[in-house]
Structure 1
Amino acid sequence: MKYGVSACLLGINCKYNGKNNESKELIRALENHEIVPICPECTGGLPIPRVPCERKGNQVISKEGEDKTFYFEKGAQLTLETIQKEKVDALILQSRSPSCGVLEIYDGSFSNKLIKGQGVFVQKCMEANIPCFDVKEWIKHAD
C-alpha cells in the first residue's frame, strides 16, 4: 500500500512551533510501504514556525485572531491534488490538527477543548473518498 503521511509524524519539523510529532512506532510499521510525506499547512504557504490556528466552523483562525482560512483551503486543495496524482491508497494523519485532524479538532477557543470534527484537508479528502486514519487509531490496528 501507498500512504500519505503527515510529515510531522515522520520527524519533519513542520509543526506550528517548528517541531515535529515523530512516531517511531508508525515509521517502523510503515517500513514495507511506500510513503508520501504531506503537510497541507506548509503547502498552503504558512511559515515554520507559525502562530497556532484552530478551526472555528468553516474558518481557521490564528491565536491572534487573524483569518487564515485561505492558506488552509489552498494547502488542502494542492495536497489533495498531489496525493491523487501519486495514487495514494490511504492517509495517516496527525490528531487534532486544523488541517489533518480526523476524529477530533480543537474547538477554536484556544482553551485546549477538543470536539468531534475534521481538519480542512481531511474534510476535502473524505469528500473525494480517500480513506483517512488518525495516527493513534491506525497504529492500534496495525498490529
Structure 2
Amino acid sequence: MPDTPILVSACLAGIHCRYNGEVEPFEPVVDLVRRGRAVPFCPEVFGGLPTPRNPCEIRDGRVVEADGTDRTAEYRRGAEEGLRLAGLMGCREAVLKARSPSCGSGEVFDGTFTSTRAAGDGLFARLLKAHGIVVRTEEDLAG
C-alpha cells in the first residue's frame, strides 16, 4: 500500500499565505511537497481571510484580532475544509505551523498579543486531533 500524504501548513511550503504577507518556507516541508508526499493547505485562507491579514490569537476560546474583532467563524470554516481535504486525501498526519491560532499544536499565543505562550491547540490542529490525525509542528521536525 502506498504511503498516504501528509497534510502541511501551506505557509511552511513557501506558499504566500502567512498573516503578515511574508514567505518563510521550511525546507523539510518544501521537500515533502516536491516529492509528492505532502498536501499544502491554509485554513485561514480557506476560511475566507485575506493575505495579508491582521494577526489573531485565541482568547477565551475565541479567535480574535488585537482590537477584539472576532474571527472564530472564519477559523472554524477553514478548519472544517482542511478536515474535509484530509479525509479526501487519506491523510493520517499533519505538520502544521507552531503557535498559530489555526495550526498550533500544544502551544499557542495567549490572546494578549504580547508574545506570551500558553498551552493549547489552534482550531485546525484541535479538529484534526479530534478525528485521529497525528499533528506535529515544524519545530518537531527540526528538533
Which residue, 83, 86, 89 being the options, matches 1:86?
89
The reply to whether residue 35 of structure 1 matches residue 45 of structure 2 is: no
In the alignment, is the contact (CA less than 8 A) between 1:95 and 1:135 conserved in 2?
yes
In the alignment, is the contact (CA less than 8 A) between 1:51 and 1:64 conserved in 2?
no
Q: Which residue identity is paired with 1:139?
A: A
- The 5 Å alignment of 1:89-128 reads 89-128=92-131
Structure 1: gaps spanning 5 or more residues: none
In the alignment, is the contact (CA less than 8 A) between 1:7 and 1:14 conserved in 2?
yes
C-alpha distance in 2 between matches for 1:87 and 1:74: 20
The reply to whether residue 8 of structure 1 matches residue 15 of structure 2 is: no
Aligned length: 140
In the alignment, is the contact (CA less than 8 A) between 1:56 and 1:107 conserved in 2?
yes
Q: Kindly state the Cα deviation for residue 30 of structure 1 after the two structures are TM-superposed.
A: 6.2
Q: Kindly state the Cα deviation for residue 35 of structure 1 after the two structures are TM-superposed.
A: 1.2
Structure 2: gaps spanning 5 or more residues: none
> Which aligned runs of 4 or more in structure 1 are off by greater than 4 angstroms?
29-33
C-alpha distance in 2 between matches for 1:120 and 1:20: 22
Quickly say closer, same or farther: Cα 1:25–1:81, change in 2 above 3 A.
closer
2:79 is matched with 76
The reply to whether residue 132 of structure 1 matches residue 135 of structure 2 is: yes
SS in 1 for 2:95: strand
Percent identity of paired positions between Structure 1 and Structure 2 = 34
C-alpha distance in 2 between matches for 1:139 and 1:88: 21
1:52 is matched with 55
Q: Kindly state the Cα deviation for residue 41 of structure 1 after the two structures are TM-superposed.
A: 0.4
What does the per-residue CA deviation read over 1:68-87, in whole Å, with 9 as the maximum and x for residues that have no partner? 10000111011111111111
Deviates more, 1:48-57 or 1:22-31: 22-31
Q: Which residue identity is paired with 2:13?
A: L
Query: TM-score if structure 1 supplies the norm length?
Result: 0.91
What does the per-residue CA deviation read over 1:75-107, in whole Å, with 9 as the maximum and x for residues that have no partner? 101111111111112100100100000121000
